[in-house]
Amino acid sequence: MSGLFEKDLRLILRRKLTVLVLLMILIVMGLSSDNLFLTGYGTAIFGFLAMGTLSCDEADNGFAFLFTLPVTRRQYVTEKFLFTGACTLVGWLTSMVVAAAVSAIRDTGYGVSGQIPENAAILFVVFAMIAISTTIQMRFGVEKSRVVLLLCVGALCAAGMVVSRAGGGSGTSAGLGTGYQAQGAGVPSDAMILLVIAGACAIVVFTAYRWGIRIMEKKEF
């Protein structure tokens, strides 16, 4: 499996210019966008960039050659989910650093630390979106999955708006920012909302992973 990791990492490093452009876009967007939008956009972009390695594997009958190596299809799916998850996490951390730096430059009076629940929820939602998109691409291939990717991005934006609105009841301009405390009578705490989102996304990721294994084990190349 380490060989698969190295392969995907080398594929990413071959696109250094793309990564640099993405970082520049994040910085520019950070100067004119909300921190939550910046975090969600950056996290999703890095996740989809990692998912592009699946397209490289599929090109020119790559799967037919790949599975002549001592690699099982289950191992391939496991590595792909771990790799895309790791890149998504790197994108989230990078976006958080950029958002924190921009907040410090702007001197807005509140920073990323005041939006920890929202940012964590964004990470979980993107994990789920990338997992679904990866499995769908395994099932339908690159061409047919493009429409699905657009739908996933739209769903991500909608989920981000829902999370942001859910945190609006705290009465602070920074979003939730209440330190995981109860918002009031009948209103769930920040921690409870985050746990529900994390649990739902974990179920989605696990389901997509199991589905991906079934798809790859039945697929003929």
Percent of the chain with pLDDT over 70: 72
Instruction: For residue 137, give its domain range.
Output: 2-218
Comparing 139 with 78, the larger pLDDT belongs to 78
Which of 19-23, 114-118, 126-130 is predicted most confidently?
A: 126-130
Three-state SS letters, the chain: CHHHHHHHHHHHHCCHHHHHHHHHHHHHHHCCCCHHHHHHHHHHHHHHHHHHHHHHHHHHHHHHHHCCCCCCHHHHHHHHHHHHHHHHHHHHHHHHHHHHHHHHHHCCCCCHHHHHHHHHHHHHHHHHHHHHHHHHHHHHHHHHHHHHHHHHHHHHHHHHHHHHHHHHHHCECCECCCCCCCCECCECCHHHHHHHHHHHHHHHHHHHHHHHHHHHHHCCC
- The pLDDT confidence band at residue 84, using thresholds 50, 70 and 90, is very high
Choose the weakest-confidence range: 34-48, 71-85, 150-164, 165-179.
165-179
Number of domains observed in the structure of the chain = 1
Record the pTM: 0.77
**pLDDT tens digits, one per residue of 164-194:** 565 554 434 344 444 444 455 455 677 788 8
Per-residue pLDDT at 119 exceeds 80:
yes
